[in-house]
Amino acid sequence: MTTLTDPPKASFRLSMLLYDTRYRSTTIQVIALMGFMLGAAWLINNVAVNLAAAGKPFTFGFLSDASGYDINQKLIEYNSQSSHLRAAVVGLLNTLLVAVMGCTLATFLGVFIGVLRLSSNWVISRLAAVYVEGFRNVPVLLWIVLIMAATSHSAPQPKDFRGDNPSATMKIFDSVAITNRGVYFPEPLFSNSLGDVAMFPDSSTEACEAYAAESDDDKVIKLAKSCGSFQISLDLIAIGSVFIACLMISKLVANRASQIQAQTGVRPTVWYLRLGIVAIPTIITLWILGFYLGYPELKGFNFKGGIYMRSSLLALWIALSLYTAAFIAEIVRAGIMAISKGQSEAAGALGIRPGRTMSLVVLPQAMRVIFPPLISQYLNLTKNSSLAIAVGYMDVTGTLGGITLNQTGREMETILLLMACYLIISLIVSTVMNAYNERTKLKER
C-alpha cells in the first residue's frame, strides 16, 4: 500500500529575493529606495559642506534677528524691530489674504460668466466669450501691472477730498474713501472690548520694548510692545464662537425639517427660525461688546483710521480674480454641458423655471465634474500671487524670498522655507477640496 504525502516545503534562500517572483518586485523597490536615500544624503551633505566652506553654515538662526525693514500692508502688528520670522509670517498672511479673496471672487465671476457662455442670447454669449478669450490669453502679470496703473492714475489724491468744494468725495454714506494710494473702509471697533491675548512671543520682544522706550507716541509704543508676539483678539473669538454655535443649531433645525419631509412629504418652513437662531445671538453679542464702526478721516496729507487696502493689494486681487475667473468659466461651461439635456427638459416639464432649473438641477450635478479642475485653478491662483512683487505688495515671496534673502544672504534656507510655505498651502487646499469632492461624488454599488 502506497501513502501519498505532500512534498516538503523549500526553505527560504537569499537567492529567492532575485529569482522568486514573490519577492523580486519588493527587492527591487527596496534597493531603489535605498539608492535614492543615499543619493539624497550625499547631495545634502555636499551642500552643507560647501556652505560651511563658504562661511555660510546651514542654519535658521537668522530668523530671530531684527528684520530692519518695514512692510506696507500687514494683518498683525509689525515694525522694523521685529524679527525676520515675524516678517515671514506677515508675508505669509498677506499671501493667504490674496488667495482667499481671489478664490472667492474668481469663483463667483467664473460661475456667472460660465452660465452666460451658454446663454441663448447671442450678444450675451459672445460678450462672455470675449471676456474669457481676452483674459486667459494674456499673461496675468500684464493684467496686474495694467490694473495697478489704472487704479494709481485714475483715482483721486487724498488732497482732492479737502476743502469746502472738494473735487472728490467719499462713497457709501461718507464711509469709503477711494484714492490713488488705496481704499479705506470702516473698521469694526468695540467699546467694551475684552482685550487681546499675547501668544508666542519671539526673541525680538526685548528689542521691540527698547524701541518703544525711545518714543513718546502712544500708538508707536503700543505697536512696538506688541511686535514681538501674536495678538489674538478675544472679541473675535467670542463672536466667532457664538456664530459657529448658532450655525450648528441651525443645521440641526434643517436636519429636523428634512426628517419631517421624508416622513410626511411636506417640508416645514423653517428659514425664519434658522435666520433668527443665527442672527439674534450674534447681534446680542455685538451689542454686549459695544460694536461700532470706525470711519476713515482725512488728517494731514492722508486718511487715518479704518481698514486700509493698498492699491497694490487691490490691483493684485482684481487681476488674479479676473484672470482665474476666465478659466473657471470654461470649467463651469464644460461641467454644465456634461449634464444630459434631458435633466433640464424634465425640470421644465415639472414647471420649474429656467433659473431654478440651473441652480437646483443642473449645477449640483455639474459640480461633480467641475470640482477636480477647480482645485487646480485655486492652487494656480495661490501660486500666481507670488507676482505681487511686481506692484510692491509684500507677500511671503517679497519678504522671506526677497528682502530677508538679500539682507541675510541665506539663499538656501530662505528658498527652502519659501518652497515649504507654498507646498504646505497647496497640500492643505488639495486635501480640503478633495475631501469635499469625495463626499459629494456619486456612490457606485
DSSP state of 178: E
pLDDT at 199 exceeding the cut of 80: no
Of the listed ranges 4-8, 218-222, 244-248, 398-402, the one predicted with least confidence: 218-222
pLDDT for 107 equals 93
Degrees (nearest 5) of the Cα angle 170, 172, 173?
Answer: 80
For residue range 94-151, list pLDDT tens digits in order.
Answer: 999 999 999 999 999 999 999 899 888 889 999 999 999 999 899 999 999 999 988 8
Give the residue-averaged pLDDT of 294-313: 85
pLDDT for 100 equals 92
Q: Which residues face 402 on adjacent strands? A: none
Amino acid 420 reads A
CA separation for the pair 279, 271 (Å, rounded): 12
Task: Tell which residue, 11, 104, 125, 162, has the closest CA to residue 377.
Answer: 104
Percent of the chain's residues with pLDDT above 70? 89
Q: Are 335 and 115 in contact (CB under 8 A)?
A: no
Average pLDDT, the chain: 83
Percent of the chain's residues with pLDDT above 90? 24
pLDDT at 1 exceeding the cut of 70: no
pLDDT at 224 exceeding the cut of 70: no
pLDDT-based confidence at 7, cuts 50/70/90? low
Q: Are 226 and 90 in contact (CB under 8 A)?
A: no
Q: Which residues face 299 on adjacent strands? A: 302
DSSP state of 181: T
**pTM (two decimals):** 0.80
Degrees (nearest 5) of the Cα angle 406, 407, 411?
Answer: 50
Which of 46-50, 52-56, 107-111: highest mean pLDDT?
A: 107-111
Specify the higher pLDDT residue, 439 or 96. 96
For residue range 315-369, list pLDDT tens digits in order.
Answer: 999 999 999 999 999 999 988 888 888 888 888 888 888 777 877 888 888 888 8
pLDDT-based confidence at 57, cuts 50/70/90? confident
The residue assigned the cell 460668466 is: 113
CA separation for the pair 136, 285 (Å, rounded): 45
pLDDT for 325 equals 94
CA separation for the pair 259, 257 (Å, rounded): 5
Specify the higher pLDDT residue, 163 or 409. 409
Of the listed ranges 57-71, 202-216, 227-241, the one predicted with least confidence: 202-216
CA separation for the pair 63, 77 (Å, rounded): 17
CA separation for the pair 433, 419 (Å, rounded): 21
For residue range 242-293, list pLDDT tens digits in order.
Answer: 999 999 999 999 889 888 888 887 878 888 899 999 999 999 999 998 888 8
pLDDT for 113 equals 92
pLDDT for 133 equals 92
